[in-house]
Amino acid sequence: MFIEITKSLCYSSKTMEEQIDLGNWTGQKLDELLKESAKIASVCSRIEFLSKQFLDTPYKKSTLIGDINTPEIFVINLGGIDCFTFLDYIEAMRISISFSEFKGNLKKVRYKSGEISYKERNHFFTDWVEFNSNLVNDISVSISNGKNKLITKKLNEKNDGTQFLKGIPCINHEIVYVPSMAIDDFVMDKLNTGDYIGVYSETEGLDVSHVGIIVIKKNTVSFRHASSKYQRVVDEDFIEYITDKPGIIALRPIQKE
């Protein structure tokens, strides 16, 4: 069965369901974009180039489909993104040279072993470290100048013992973060364009409250993210943004040879 909706391509099969909304993009334009980005040798420059294309893209939460009672659907929505799907898309794009390859890589980035399932989805930022270790490294310790903090959290478990995400196991994770008060010149000098930043959350059961990308131009360090406040993808001064936050977890994409 094939149903066409404005700016959206939705189809299903016996083995997999997909919902794709390319927004202002087309498959051909994405092919051209990814072929151009693949020519950029530096992973830092490639992520900056790709993420720049999505500046001013509308913010839209809860675009992914699936929960413990609803079958998971593989979603691509480039017309409206939240902070985490923004990183999903950029990370999958930076290792792809075509739209079809992007689709396959997005499944690997978003899901453990690429299996499209609510239970297999990487629901937490620190899931990337465990299940996408071939793509990113946690650099929180190396950039901290010894001022990092280590905490063990039972992710997904609230203070009252209930779950944020029903049906997802509550698992102890060791989390390393750099407190905002420790983000000095040493830390700033260690950050690179393209680093993925999670804003550490002090809430029990959560690792981060928000995520985005570091972009460095001359003497300016920006935080590029899908902002619920501004309702679009924006660049904000990183230091101003992070000052009143608890701290950061930093992941660095691995440069492929």
**The last residue of a domain, from among 58, 88, 114:** 114
Q: How confident is the model at residue 72 (pLDDT cuts 50, 70, 90)?
A: very high
List helix spans (H) across 216-257.
238-242
Question: What number is the average pLDDT over the span 188-207?
Answer: 97
Q: How confident is the model at residue 133 (pLDDT cuts 50, 70, 90)?
A: confident
C-alpha 192/C-alpha 80 separation (Å) is: 27
CATH number at residue 196: 2.30.260.10
**The last residue of a domain, from among 68, 83, 114:** 114
Q: How confident is the model at residue 73 (pLDDT cuts 50, 70, 90)?
A: very high
C-alpha separations of 157 from 127, 152, 167, 225 in Å: 15, 12, 11, 26
Residue at 124 is within a domain: no
Task: Check residue 11 and give its pLDDT.
Answer: 33
Instruction: Tell me: pLDDT of 150 over 70.
Output: yes
Residue at 123 is within a domain: no
For residue 176, give the 3-state DSSP assignment. Answer: strand
Identify whether residues 166 and 235 lie together within a single domain: yes
For residue 185, give the 3-state DSSP assignment. Answer: helix
Instruction: Tell me: pLDDT of 161 over 60.
Output: yes
Task: Residue 70: name the closest of 23, 36, 117, 25 by CA.
Answer: 117
| pLDDT tens for each residue of 199-235 | 999 999 999 999 999 999 988 999 999 999 999 999 9
Task: Residue 63: name the closest of 110, 129, 2 by CA.
Answer: 110
Say which residues have a Cβ less than 8 Å from residue 95's Cβ, sequence separation at least 6.
105, 135, 256
Task: Check residue 13 and give its pLDDT.
Answer: 31
Instruction: Tell me: pLDDT of 10 over 90.
Output: no
Instruction: Tell me: pLDDT of 3 over 70.
Output: no
Q: How confident is the model at residue 19 (pLDDT cuts 50, 70, 90)?
A: very high
H/E element, 235? strand 232-237
Instruction: Tell me: pLDDT of 4 over 80.
Output: no
Identify whether residues 90 and 181 lie together within a single domain: no
Residue at 248 is within a domain: yes
Question: What number is the average pLDDT over the span 98-109?
Answer: 96
Judge contact between 144 and 189, C-beta under 8 A: no
Q: How confident is the model at residue 12 (pLDDT cuts 50, 70, 90)?
A: very low
Task: Check residue 257 and give its pLDDT.
Answer: 58
Question: What number is the average pLDDT over the span 135-139?
Answer: 96
Q: Which amino acid is at 85?
A: T
Q: Output the six-digit token pair for 189.
A: 């000098």
Residue at 125 is within a domain: no
C-alpha 72/C-alpha 240 separation (Å) is: 38
Identify whether residues 74 and 19 lie together within a single domain: yes
What does 74-130 look like in DSSP terms, one character per residue?
EEEESSSB-HHHHHHHHHHHHT-SSHHHHHHHHHHHHBGGG---TTTB--STTHHHH
Q: Work out the percent of the chain whose per-residue pLDDT is above 70.
A: 93
Judge contact between 50 and 224, C-beta under 8 A: no
Range of the domain at 193: 132-253
Instruction: Tell me: pLDDT of 44 over 90.
Output: yes
Task: Check residue 113 and give its pLDDT.
Answer: 82
The count of structural domains within the chain is 2
Identify whether residues 8 and 78 lie together within a single domain: yes
Q: How confident is the model at residue 168 (pLDDT cuts 50, 70, 90)?
A: very high
Give me the chain's average pLDDT, please: 92
Identify whether residues 160 and 200 lie together within a single domain: yes
